[in-house]
Amino acid sequence: MDKKRELLRYEEAASVLPVRLRRLVMSLTEEQKCMAEEFRLRAGRPLTVLLPSGELPLEAEVEPEELETLCDLATEFSRYAAAETLREGYLSVRGGFRVGLCGTAVMKDGINTNLKNFSSASVRIARQKPGIADDLAPALFRDGAFCSTLILSPPGGGKTTLLRDLVRRLSEGTADHPPLRVSLIDERGEVAVMHRGRPQMDVGPYTDVLDACPKALGIPVMLRAMNPQVIAVDEITVSGDVKAMSLAAGCGVRLLATIHAADTAELMEKPLYRRLLEDRVFRMAVRIIRQEGKRVYETEELPW
């Protein structure tokens, strides 16, 4: 992505901030804006901008009322319409941005039904990085076929950005492999960023996108409707996702997915993800590692 577009994405993310805070983040240098990954807001604490080197504090303490304003701006003053994700602690914002929220949970019959009295928030700056998967994609093929692959990193490690570009690369094809039909279940609207039926991010010419649909429901839909060669999803989090992916693997479809985990050893410590490995749903893993402020991609073949 060129510098002009990087700056535009930064400005779009800043637009969900209250005016006083927006002015502060817009005062950063162009270099800082291009590298910024998140805005972090904590009531009574300085507003910070997350850079590869860490959080940069700005000269303003966040007021509790500004967190409420942020929520109103992110939901376009319609919190009711966003109630389903709000109670899970996040909001999906037009343009593919994501706002994470902390506050007081409103419990009813042992279930969290809402959040109130916001205490902190993060605004993730969604960016496209075309080309980051160009060298990686060929390493995920064996005997001419794409291998089902997991992308692993801790939260904020760049999994969604890499997933998006791998989807594009597989859909376009590589020097040694023809294009593949990719079905993308974009549950939170962060990968393709659909608007009026068209993806705002480049996910490739042979990619079909099912937007705003839970993965566990979307995977069977795409299997029946779109005859995919690869199904791609972001953030496996619940047992229903695992079950649906096992079903797709049993139908001969290859899979591409992201998981919050530093490595395969951490996967094996979690029963939900251990099943994916024990059922041999995935063959390859890509670890995203930070080295000197840059992201490095390491591939490994999963042991069976």
Residue 283's CATH number = 3.40.50.300
Cα dist. 185→81, 104, 157 in Å? 21, 31, 21
Distance CA 10, CA 125 (A): 7
- pLDDT score at 271: 85
Q: Is residue 272 part of a domain?
A: yes
Q: Taken in order 165, 267, 252, 297, is the CA torsion positive or negative?
A: positive
Query: What DSSP assignment string belongs to the chain?
Result: --HHHHHHHHHHHHTTS-HHHHHHHTTS-HHHHHH--EEEEEBTSEEEEEETTEEEEEEEEBPHHHHHHHHHHHTTT-GGGGHHHHTTTEEEETTTEEEEEEEEEEEETTEEEEEEEEEEEEEE-----TTTTTTTGGGGEETTEEPPEEEEESTTSSHHHHHHHHHHHHHH--SSS----EEEEETTS-SS-EETTEESS---TTEEEEES--HHHHHHHHHHHT--SEEEES---SHHHHHHHHHHHHTT-EEEEEEE-SSHHHHHTSHHHHHHHHTT---EEEEEEEETTEEEEEEEEPP-
pLDDT tens track for 11-29: 999 999 999 999 999 999 9
Q: Is residue 129 part of a domain?
A: no
Mean pLDDT of 188-210: 89
- pLDDT score at 112: 79
Regarding whether 157 and 294 lie in a shared domain, the answer is yes
- pLDDT score at 293: 72
193 versus 288: the higher-pLDDT residue is 288
Domain span at 180: 137-301
Report the percent of the chain where pLDDT is more than 70: 99
- pLDDT score at 109: 83
Regarding whether 289 and 153 lie in a shared domain, the answer is yes
Mean pLDDT of 36-55: 95
Say whether pLDDT at 105 is over 80. Answer: yes
Regarding whether 141 and 119 lie in a shared domain, the answer is no
Regarding whether 256 and 142 lie in a shared domain, the answer is yes
Regarding whether 149 and 33 lie in a shared domain, the answer is no
Say whether pLDDT at 122 is over 90. Answer: yes
Regarding whether 97 and 154 lie in a shared domain, the answer is no
Regarding whether 71 and 186 lie in a shared domain, the answer is no
Cα 288-151-52 angle, rounded to 5 deg: 30
Site of tokens 């989807």: 167
- Choosing from 93, 124, 155, the residue where a domain stops is 124
Task: Write the single-letter amino acid at 204.
Answer: G
Strand-pairing partners, residue 260, are 153
Q: Is the pTM of this model over 0.85?
A: no
Regarding whether 193 and 61 lie in a shared domain, the answer is no
Distance CA 173, CA 181 (A): 10
- Choosing from 95, 124, 153, the residue where a domain stops is 124
Say whether pLDDT at 142 is over 90. Answer: yes
pLDDT tens track for 154-171: 988 899 999 999 999 999
Q: Is residue 206 part of a domain?
A: yes
1 versus 174: the higher-pLDDT residue is 174
The CATH number of whichever domain residue 64 belongs to comes to 3.30.450
- pLDDT score at 72: 94
Distance CA 135, CA 114 (A): 43
pLDDT band, residue 268 (cuts 50/70/90): confident
Distance CA 115, CA 85 (A): 10
Q: Of 110-114, 262-266, 291-295, where does the model show the most confidence?
A: 262-266
Regarding whether 149 and 105 lie in a shared domain, the answer is no
Q: Taken in order 231, 2, 49, 80, is the CA torsion positive or negative?
A: negative
Say whether pLDDT at 264 is over 60. Answer: yes
Say whether pLDDT at 1 is over 70. Answer: no
- pLDDT score at 304: 61
Regarding whether 279 and 181 lie in a shared domain, the answer is yes
Mean pLDDT of 105-121: 88
Distance CA 238, CA 171 (A): 27
Regarding whether 192 and 97 lie in a shared domain, the answer is no
Say whether pLDDT at 218 is over 90. Answer: yes
Report the percent of the chain where pLDDT is more than 90: 67
Checking 288-294 for CB contacts under 8 A at 24+ apart, the result is 288/151, 288/152, 288/153, 288/157, 288/158, 288/159, 288/162, 289/153, 290/52, 290/157, 293/52, 293/53, 294/52
Distance CA 146, CA 116 (A): 45
Q: Is residue 132 part of a domain?
A: no
pLDDT tens track for 233-261: 999 989 999 999 999 999 999 999 999 99
Q: Look over the chain and give the mean of its residue pLDDT values, rounded to a whole number.
A: 92
Mean pLDDT of 174-181: 96
